[in-house]
Structure 1
Amino acid sequence: MKRVNDFRARNHPSYWAFLVHRVSGLLLVIFLPIHFLALSLALKGDAALNGFISFTDTPLFKVGELGLVVLLTLHLVGGVRLLLIDFRPVRPPGLLKHWIYGGAAMGLAAGAAFVVTLNF
């Protein structure tokens, strides 16, 4: 019997949690080389690092930092949710949907807290 993919599973919150976790992980991987570049400038001296820091002190980079904070929070909560699913002896109904909604709320709260601390 041929299995037909009817895309109903893509409307389930667990699918969206998987997608957010996967995409946030990929975007964080893209961020890491830029972060290592900035760290390597510290080895070249104060002038190189200060030049990079002054370059990143723009509103565009502040928005990028906001996205980074939200991505890190969403990826963290998604990873904890997966650990709970894998290592709990009894799987709760709905594959911990409350963790999905709580993770989204934590991501938004972390982003809001970061925005409050910004000095434009």
Structure 2
Amino acid sequence: MKKRLLVSVVDDDESVRESLPDLIREMGFNALAFNSAEAFLESGSVGRTKCLILDLKMPGMGGQALVSELKRLGIDTPVVFITANQSSAIREQLLDDGAVACLFKPFSDVELSDALLKAVCER
């Protein structure tokens, strides 16, 4: 039996945490959801996560701060940002900083699938 790659979702929006993992599992991955960057860092799943789907704006540590902390720890997990902010400038900045993708909420299943496949295939 082939081991499924772990995708971790970090988003303060409960509806995202409830629905996105199910969709990710349907795409053939394992999925865990966390309500904050701090919860993810404390989870013990950081090293096992093969792709991080990360909300840009959250209370406490935001998405960009989490990526900075992971880099400080020497962890280079591919990141797909998700955000309600429809700014093309923000998207371009995140991509320039190394994100695999930046999806604007609401995004389609196809957009998410394409981003996940890009994240796991490029590593």
TM-score with structure 2 setting the length: 0.28
The structure with the greater share of residues assigned to strand is 2
TM-score (norm: length of structure 1):
0.29
Choose 1 or 2 for highest CA Rg. Answer: 1
Which is bigger in relative contact order (C-alpha 8 A, separation at least 6)? 1
